[in-house]
Amino acid sequence: MARGPDGKGGGAGFSLADQLFNAESAAALAQEASVLPGFDAGRFLDHVLPRFDGLGVHARLGVLADAFEAQLPSNFNAMAESLEATLPEPLDPARKDDDFGRFIHAVHGVLAARHGLEHPERALDLLHAATQRFSMEYAIRPFLNRWPDLVLARMQGWARDPHYHVRRLVSEGTRPKLPWGMGLTLDPRAPLPLLDVLHADDTRFVTRSVANHLNDLGKTHPDAVLERLNAWHESGAQDSRELDWITRHALRTAVKRGETGALALLGYRPDLPVTARLEIEPELRIGEVLTIAASLESPEAGPVLVDYRLRFARPAGSAEKVFKLKAAALAPGKPLTLAKGHRMKGDASTFRLHPGPHAVILQVNGRDVAEAGFTLLD
């Protein structure tokens, strides 16, 4: 289950905030800070621990930052030097993926953004060091808004940094729609020259971010995304299998929307002649399983990406959601039969069902080929 910035979600009683920010992690941060002359770990913990209860992830980060700041120099240059002195060893630069570091080190980014906006060069030095322990993707966004040219210029060097966490920050920090991140005011196409470098990275942690970045950009500038992907395929700078993965991941939302350019780049012909038969139950109750049975035929051979859209009845009109069905290949004279059960959950936390007329729309290579209605009962 996706979790919001308050750190809540998951199973009953689970708290991401409790898992990430607790007595043990706070004590670890205090221990690291004890390298500073005069730093009082007990005072730090006495401030932090009583205030954690009931707070989410971002609020607890704020509490940690307040307690840390209270024992740091007020001058930002001196503060940044002290913060850098408390950092542990960088994350292993030889790894390729899934090495996120510890969330407690996000505190360094909070303080950089809180006090360093008037000292951008020094603050960027701090973020460069800190992101090698935990991603500074949220902390760098205020600097991108205040000093876009300066930050983008610095990122030109970071895109070739020896440490892959620094390289990833270039892509992740500039994502147009970073989940729960501050919105950016710069042209969302401005970071594309940086992605030209990063798409050829040999680290999946970086290329995944590049793909997510393009998926964000495609929601507002789909042509720019296709232009870049085509150029990357022509350049040959990235391993072909990795670039195919980047392309699929970058176009996942465009594919759901049935965008013909995206589908064509992935090898799916929107004009492939397809006839389809779709069968579903005429009615069922909320909570029951809707059985979707389909048969596809074509006089021509070709790969097909088969999705289905559910059109839901809503009090203020209808709404639709796309679901995956099958990636396959059609051959002349050989029908392709598909079936899937879709439970019409009545207790889904993100999308409440209402009784009334619904429909299933079968979509092949982005084109609607069949539709069938059904009634959902209470």
The answer to whether position 294 is within a domain reads yes
What is the pLDDT confidence band of residue 296, given thresholds at 50, 70 and 90? very high
Q: The domain that contains 344 carries what CATH number?
A: 2.60.40.10
The CA-CA-CA angle for residues 365, 371, 375, to 5°, reads 140
Please check whether residues 250 and 320 belong to one and the same domain. no
- 131/164 Cα distance (integer angstroms): 10
C-alpha separations of 292 from 280, 323, 340, 352 in Å: 5, 12, 5, 21
Parent domain of 259: 72-265
Please check whether residues 296 and 241 belong to one and the same domain. no
Contact between 172 and 211 under an 8 Å Cβ cutoff? The reply is: no
- 73/106 Cα distance (integer angstroms): 19
- 351/362 Cα distance (integer angstroms): 21
Please check whether residues 251 and 126 belong to one and the same domain. yes
Whole-number pLDDT of residue 6: 53
The answer to whether position 51 is within a domain reads no
> How confident is the model over 148-181, as pLDDT tens digits?
999 999 999 999 999 999 999 999 999 999 999 9
Please check whether residues 198 and 288 belong to one and the same domain. no
Model pTM?
Answer: 0.86
Contact between 144 and 174 under an 8 Å Cβ cutoff? The reply is: yes
Mean pLDDT of the chain: 93
C-alpha separations of 147 from 4, 121, 138, 141, 299 in Å: 28, 10, 15, 10, 57
The answer to whether position 5 is within a domain reads no
Contact between 319 and 361 under an 8 Å Cβ cutoff? The reply is: no
What does the pLDDT average to over 221-249?
Answer: 97
Among 265, 299, 316, identify where a domain stops. 265
Please check whether residues 248 and 339 belong to one and the same domain. no
> How confident is the model over 126-143, as pLDDT tens digits?
999 999 999 999 999 999
Q: Is the pLDDT of residue 279 over 60?
A: yes
Torsion over CA of 140, 144, 149 and 153, rounded to 10 degrees? 20
Q: Of 77, 65, 171, which is closest to residue 120 (Cα–Cα)?
A: 77
- 344/376 Cα distance (integer angstroms): 9
What does the pLDDT average to over 80-100?
Answer: 90
- 115/117 Cα distance (integer angstroms): 6
Q: Per residue, what are the HEC states of 87-121?
A: CCCCCCCCCCCCCCECHHHHHHHHHHHHHCCCCHH
HSE-up (13 A, CA, CB side) for residue 249? 15
Whole-number pLDDT of residue 346: 78
C-alpha separations of 24 from 29, 30, 59, 88, 103 in Å: 9, 10, 18, 16, 12
Contact between 255 and 266 under an 8 Å Cβ cutoff? The reply is: yes
What does the pLDDT average to over 42-54?
Answer: 96
Q: Of 312, 314, 296, which is closest to residue 370 (Cα–Cα)?
A: 296
Q: Is the pLDDT of residue 99 over 90?
A: no
The answer to whether position 22 is within a domain reads no
Q: The domain that contains 188 carries what CATH number?
A: 1.25.40.290
What is the pLDDT confidence band of residue 11, given thresholds at 50, 70 and 90? very low
Please check whether residues 133 and 282 belong to one and the same domain. no
Please check whether residues 260 and 282 belong to one and the same domain. no
Among 200, 233, 265, identify where a domain stops. 265
What does the pLDDT average to over 212-236?
Answer: 97
What is the pLDDT confidence band of residue 271, given thresholds at 50, 70 and 90? very high
Whole-number pLDDT of residue 10: 44
> How confident is the model over 207-222, as pLDDT tens digits?
999 999 999 999 999 9
Whole-number pLDDT of residue 14: 65
Among 235, 265, 295, identify where a domain stops. 265
57: amino acid identity, one letter: V
